[in-house]
């Protein structure tokens, strides 16, 4: 597929565990015309579990059962949405319980309502480690008519090896739900930076930041690396990025309780940039092997 439209939906004012799902369903039903030509939709990392997570002293078995209930509900809602709108839809991340471990897992449904991709977060934040979440250690991609789709979840965006291995495995489109806190420069150091050094498209649903659809600079408006949103009045290329992102906040389209970012993704342009600036080709694998795996692992800084 040469061209498709993608959308990121930001849900505002979420508090109760099921309200967000009910609200999503209702909103999507009311605004189904918005989706008439959208092929890929991403929801952000959600707060579906906050109510049960905040219950002190909750029994482990009860907790696990509640997670299962919530996840079944998510599956039901989003599976139907995907079929209704003939689109690939990701509810962002769910909390998965498997083999006595909890994972943060990205889900993707195809237009037949099938759950076709489940990707576990690979690197955890300090809080996630404190909650004893387990890590995924595999990169999975779904080969679709849009391109190969993969996930970059939460703090994975700050580990460049995740983007690199996604790219080397053939990823074309990355779904990146997160709720990372920090300023806009910190946000740019994540998914934007990964997109530039790996030449893929990314939908970043940044709960606390600015949701963006990314692409390599050369194939984006004003060479910013951001397909959507866009400030058409952007006058030059020397404005500092954080200032531009701040202006983009006003460019979100607000429909009811949702803010949406919508953009056209031209896969032919992606193929063009990869062919003309083949970054993967110039990786120096002899150097990396000679240096050894240990030298490439994060956080092995020698301060001696």
In terms of CB distance, is 65 or 291 closer to another protein?
291
Shortest distance in whole angstroms from residue 299 CB to another protein: 4
Stretch binding another protein (CB under 8 A), from 34-42, 53-61, 87-95, 280-288: 280-288
Asked if 175 interacts with another protein (CB under 8 A), we say: no
In terms of CB distance, is 179 or 193 closer to another protein?
193
* 56, 60, 126, 132: which one binds another protein (CB under 8 A): 126
In terms of CB distance, is 32 or 186 closer to another protein?
186
Asked if 98 interacts with another protein (CB under 8 A), we say: no
Q: Are 8 and 234 in contact (CB under 8 A)?
A: no
* 129, 247, 251, 253: which one binds another protein (CB under 8 A): 129
In terms of CB distance, is 116 or 219 closer to another protein?
219
Asked if 295 interacts with another protein (CB under 8 A), we say: yes
In terms of CB distance, is 83 or 217 closer to another protein?
217
Instruction: Write the interaction track for another protein spanning residues 219-258; mark x where CB under 8 A is met and - where it is not.
Output: ---xxxx-----------xxxxxx----------------
Q: Are 160 and 195 in contact (CB under 8 A)?
A: no
Asked if 294 interacts with another protein (CB under 8 A), we say: yes
Q: Are 15 and 148 in contact (CB under 8 A)?
A: no
DSSP E strands in the chain: the ranges are 3-11, 38-42, 88-98, 101-109, 115-120, 142-143, 148-151, 173-178, 201-206, 212-214, 226-228, 253-255, 258-266
CA 296 to chain centre: 25
Shortest distance in whole angstroms from residue 237 CB to another protein: 4
**Runs of H (alpha helix) within 169-212:** 184-187, 193-198
Task: Name residues whose C-beta falls within 8 Å of residue 13's C-beta, 6 or more positions apart in sequence.
Answer: 257
Give the angle 121-126-128 at the CA atoms, nearest 5°.
45
Asked if 279 interacts with another protein (CB under 8 A), we say: yes
Q: For residues 272 and 278, give the distance between their C-alpha atoms in angstroms, rounded to a whole number.
A: 10
Stretch binding another protein (CB under 8 A), from 63-71, 90-98, 252-260, 277-285: 277-285
In terms of CB distance, is 48 or 141 closer to another protein?
141
Q: For residues 217 and 234, give the distance between their C-alpha atoms in angstroms, rounded to a whole number.
A: 15
Q: Are 11 and 24 in contact (CB under 8 A)?
A: yes
Q: For residues 17 and 225, give the distance between their C-alpha atoms in angstroms, rounded to a whole number.
A: 35
Asked if 161 interacts with another protein (CB under 8 A), we say: yes
Residues forming the site for another protein (CB under 8 A): 122-126, 129, 135-139, 155, 158-161, 164-165, 168-169, 182-183, 185-186, 189, 193, 196-197, 217-218, 222-225, 237-242, 277-291, 293-304
């Amino acid at each position: 597929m040469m061209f498709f439209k993608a959308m990121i939906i930001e849900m505002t004012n979420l508090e109760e565990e099921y309200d967000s799902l009910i609200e999503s369903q209702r909103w999507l039903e009311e605004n189904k015309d918005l989706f008439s030509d959208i092929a890929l939709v991403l929801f952000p990392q959600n707060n579906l579990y906050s109510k049960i997570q905040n219950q002190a002293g909750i029994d482990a078995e009860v907790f696990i059962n509640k997670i299962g209930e919530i996840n079944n509900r998510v599956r039901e809602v989003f599976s139907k949405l995907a079929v209704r709108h003939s689109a690939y839809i990701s509810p962002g991340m769910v909390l998965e319980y498997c083999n006595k471990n909890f994972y943060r897992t990205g889900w993707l449904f195809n237009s037949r309502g099938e759950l076709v991709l489940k990707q576990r977060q690979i690197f955890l934040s300090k809080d996630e480690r404190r909650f004893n979440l387990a890590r995924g250690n595999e990169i999975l991609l779904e080969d679709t008519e849009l391109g190969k789709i993969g996930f970059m979840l939460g703090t994975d965006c700050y580990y460049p090896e995740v983007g690199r291995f996604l790219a080397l495995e053939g990823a074309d489109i990355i779904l990146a739900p997160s709720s990372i806190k920090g300023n806009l420069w910190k946000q740019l150091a994540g998914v934007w930076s990964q997109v530039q050094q790996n030449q893929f498209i990314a939908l970043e649903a940044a709960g606390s930041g600015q949701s963006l659809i990314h692409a390599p600079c050369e194939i984006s408006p004003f060479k910013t690396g951001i397909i959507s949103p866009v400030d058409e009045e952007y006058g030059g290329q020397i404005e500092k990025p954080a200032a531009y992102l701040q202006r983009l906040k006003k460019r979100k389209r607000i429909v009811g309780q949702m803010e949406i970012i919508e953009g056209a993704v031209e896969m032919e342009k992606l193929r063009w940039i990869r062919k003309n600036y083949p970054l993967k080709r110039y990786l120096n694998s002899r150097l990396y092997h000679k240096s050894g795996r240990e030298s490439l692992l994060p956080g092995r800084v020698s301060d001696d």
